[in-house]
Amino acid sequence: MQTIQVSPAPADTDSMVRQLTQDFTSAATRLNKQKLTLNIQETIIMVFGPSHKINDYELADVAFGNEKLEVVDRYKYLGIMLEKTLKFDQNVKYLHRMIYRKLKTLGRVRSQIGQFTAILYNIYKSPLYVQ
């Protein structure tokens, strides 16, 4: 189960840690009522916001139960690389690498495919112009 929770930024790190602990406890209680459990080993924390504000938060000591939670700066969620500053530089680089690899593979096998497929490949490779 992957969940993104959005809430306003608290005034300081201590209140953020308290809020996170309260939220995790509440989520665990709701899951227990449904006879489900929260997988703490797969749970991460990511704080979003402007870089000058989120650098003030040091969340290295966030724990739930006996487990320490991992704090990350970047996370891939539903195919999109999310960054803590909500810039999409890493996502664009990631997509560029993925598309380049696929086009390179198509280019290698182009000579081995039929005439119609080669035409479709050329259409796919050509730039799109929107009027």
pLDDT tens profile 43-97: 888 877 777 666 656 666 677 777 787 888 888 888 788 887 778 887 788 888 8
Q: Is residue 74 assigned to a domain?
A: yes
Residue 8 within any structural domain of the chain: no
74 plus 103 within the same structural domain:
no
Domain that holds residue 26: 13-83
Find residue 15's DSSP bridge partners: none
- Domain match, 18 and 69 both: yes
- Residue 6: half-sphere exposure toward Cβ, Cα within 13 Å: 1
Q: What is the mean pLDDT of residues 1-10?
A: 58
3 within some domain: no
C-beta atoms surrounding 28 within 10 Å = 16
Determine the pLDDT at residue 131: 47
The pLDDT score that the predictor gives to residue 117 is 73
Strands 67-68, 80-83: pairing kind: unpaired
pTM of the model: 0.55
pLDDT at residue 109 tops 50? yes
| DSSP state, residue 111 | G
Q: What is the DSSP string of 93-107?
A: HHHHHHHHHHHHHHH
Same domain, 78 and 114: no
Q: Is pLDDT of 1 > 60? A: no
Same domain, 75 and 95: no
Indicate whether 103 belongs to any domain: yes
User: Quick one: tokens of 115?
Assistant: 């005439």
